[in-house]
Chain A
Amino acid sequence: MSTLEVRNLYKIFGSSPKTALEMSQAGKAKDEILKETGNTIGVNDASFEVQEGETFVVMGLSGSGKSTLIRCLNRLQDPTYGEVLLDGKNIVELSEEELRHVRRKKMSMVFQNFGLFPHRTVRKNVDYGLEIQGVPEEERKEKAYEALELVGLKGYEEMTPAELSGGMQQRVGLARALVLDPDILLMDEAFSALDPLIKKNMQDELLALQEKVQKTIVFITHDLDEALKLGDRIAVMYEGRIVQIGTPEEILTHPANDYVRNFVENVDRSKVLTAESIMKKPLAVVDPKEGPSAALRKMKNEEISSIYVVDHKRRVQGVVDIADVKKLADKGEKSLKSILRKDFDTTSPDTTIVDLLPTAGTTNYPIAVVDESNKLLGLIVRVTVISGISRDGENNA
């Protein structure tokens, strides 16, 4: 397995890339450079690191430079400046032969328009990468069949690509990349040419596949929903620059600038935001150290009608109602144990809001967000669940 690191990568199109590079590094804007030198800056000072086994999504609109960026990783386009480090080795400096080795063994790519070979059968498309390495026919065939089975194309091996639907064609593209067993999978708008239902299927299957094969994936897309669904981390690109890198939640809840904010505005947050991102600080009392009077004071301060009770390790014991606590306090009792209620709901921090909705509708108390050891991490009140879905949800984070 490998890690991929990109440092200060530039790709400049035009006749005088060096001048343009200097201007850009001196802080001149893209438009200005275009006007003065006629050079277009495709990728502008991109730096990021992709962890082993991670799905790293680069998202941006067309023209943002994302496709150029991914082509710099396997040098389908040569970067103007910067480094692409694969396990510490700079790909930019490799000789033709070393580069071929990387392409054959380490990095495979899946293309938006599939890029299948029309004159070869499905199986021959998949085994092309092995054929050019001189792998014997029998072994090639076997591996191709395996890869095709992995992507759900068993039985289509001897058809031609033209006989397959778009979704199936892209499966062939995926199998063609997987058959080489690369460490890194580059996917350039791999699902963008597919219609929505097929696209969703392919995304689900990629996630399932990723569980099995655990590749490092760099995935390019212009589709935010896709980015949020697939990405462990997302880099947002705008005019050749990476403007933000973060987990889907970070992108949604803390957009780095107006561009990202506008971008994420219309996303269906309920599918992305999790309990963790909308929970409030876990207000609770410890029993029996803090008695009814402490509980009463906290509830009054926070203007709430119930409070959770935890033990000294902050494990949830139950919830108490303000009326019961008052009675208890009047009696002068020290322990809340007698009035503990158990009819509360708990959830794990990575539950999505959409899955919280049914619970939020029926619960009597705030939902307790707990970890595996039942430790209280936070609370979610019903109104937060609702507002978490709405556009202003980020305020609740």
Chain B
Amino acid sequence: MRTMRSLTVIPQIPIGDGFEAIVSFLERYFGWLFEIVNVIIETSVDSFEWVLLLLPPLAVIAIVAVLAWKLGSKWLAVGAFIGLSLIYSMDLWESAVDTLALVLVSSLIALMIGIPIGILAAKKQRFGDNIVRPVLDFMQTMPAFVYLIPAIILFSRGAVAGSIATIVFAMPPVVRLTNLGIRQVPSDVMEAARSLGSTGKQLLLKIQLPIALPTIFAGINQTVMLALSMVVIASMIGAGGLGSDVRSALSRVDIGPGFEAGLAVVILAMLIDRITQSLSEKNGNG
């Protein structure tokens, strides 16, 4: 399209340049802020990894299986046991732990930011419809790779940059579904709660959030799944984990290890999905 520039009367607006300028401005004046974020994320990811790697893999597998049993079913526990043992036997345990740590930390941060925004968007509907929604559309449709670039600039290559890109990419579903869940609370229920003299806080904590919980959990599930897919992509900027195994297999056109790493991602994905889903069912999805 750039070649057509001379033919058109519409002047070229340097959006790209502008964005560059913003990023370098942020880098220059808010470097300290990014440094803090950097430390927080790095520390959390590292400590997660440290704990998971400190325990013998079999112990971790057993713990996850028990968790799956408690939250889900016997079969989920069996699946977790077999799946994780398979990852271990493929010698991908460390990579999987790296990935898991990154997914969990990124998701947690995405939820901590996303759920309050979702609540706010539901409470202030105009703010929700006119500001939050377009921003979410932007965040979800912008190609995931694009997030990697400013993330590298602001945080340099590595797990933190990967985590930041993941947070941005994975946040929209939980914001949307929190917003939706709260708006879907029937108006007569809201009226009844108000007519009994509830304060705004009581309405939110005792009525809206509990009723919206199943929907919010669906959003949490989506966010965690998106986080996993993004963490794999983030290996391109040195986030480590299973993604880098996939990437190195790709660069060597090595089918075997590539498939193994891919399979490990699938196993993680299914486990995370089933476990978060049973969490939402536990919280009154019926």
Contacts and interface: CB of A to CB of B under 8 A. Distances in A.
Interface of A: 71, 74, 76, 100-104, 108-109, 111-119, 128-129, 131-133, 173, 176, 180, 186
A250 to B, nearest CB: 31
Given A119-B211, A176-B196, 12 more contacts: A101-B197, A103-B195, A103-B196, A108-B196, A114-B192, A115-B192, A116-B189, A118-B189, A128-B196, A128-B206, A132-B202, A173-B192
B137 interface: no
Contacts of A173: 192
Contacts of B189: 115-118
Interface class of chain B by DSSP: helix
Contacts of B202: 132
B199 A100 contact: yes
A15 B166 CA distance: 44
Interface string B171-211: 00000000000000010110111111111001000110011
Contacts of A176: 192, 196
Given A111-B188, A128-B206, A132-B202, A117 B193 contact: yes
B197 A100 contact: yes
23 contacts: A100-B197, A100-B199, A103-B195, A103-B196, A108-B196, A109-B191, A112-B188, A113-B186, A113-B188, A114-B192, A115-B192, A116-B189, A117-B193, A117-B211, A119-B210, A128-B196, A129-B196, A132-B196, A132-B198, A133-B197, A173-B192, A176-B192, A180-B196
Contact of A74 (B186, B195, B207): B195
B284 interface: yes
Interface of B: 186, 188-189, 191-199, 202, 206-207, 210-211, 213, 284
Contact of A116 (B192, B195, B199): B192
Contacts of B199: 100, 132
Contacts of A104: 196-197
A139 B230 CA distance: 52
Contacts of B196: 103-104, 108, 128-129, 132, 176, 180
A111 B191 contact: yes
Contacts, number: 67
**Residue in B186, B193, B196, B211 with the greatest tally of chain A CB atoms within 10 Å:** B196
Contacts of B193: 115, 117, 128
Nearest to A106: B197
Contacts of B198: 100, 132
B191 A115 contact: yes
B283 to A, nearest CB: 10
Contacts of B194: 76, 103
A132 B206 CA distance: 9
Given A114-B188, A115-B189, A118-B189, A76 B195 contact: yes
A111 B197 contact: no
Contacts of B210: 119
B192 A109 contact: yes
B152 to A, nearest CB: 45
A119 B284 contact: yes
Contacts of A116: 189, 192
Identify which of B192, B194, B206 gathers the most chain A CB atoms within 10 Å of its CB.
B192
A133 B206 CA distance: 13
B209 to A, nearest CB: 10
Nearest to A112: B188
B197 A109 contact: no
Residue from A101, A103, A111, A117 whose CB has the most chain B CB atoms within 10 Å: A117
B207 A117 contact: yes
A118 B195 contact: no
A114 B191 CA distance: 10
A101 B195 CA distance: 11
A132 B197 contact: yes
A113 B196 CA distance: 16
A109 B196 CA distance: 8
B281 to A, nearest CB: 14
Nearest to A96: B199
A115 B186 CA distance: 8
A76 B197 contact: no
Contacts of B206: 128, 131-132
A219 to B, nearest CB: 15
A394 to B, nearest CB: 39
Contacts of A129: 196-197
A125 to B, nearest CB: 9
B286 to A, nearest CB: 9
A101 B196 CA distance: 9
A118 B213 CA distance: 12
Nearest to B283: A119
A17 to B, nearest CB: 19
A173 B210 CA distance: 19
A113 B186 CA distance: 10
A272 B202 CA distance: 45
A185 B193 CA distance: 15
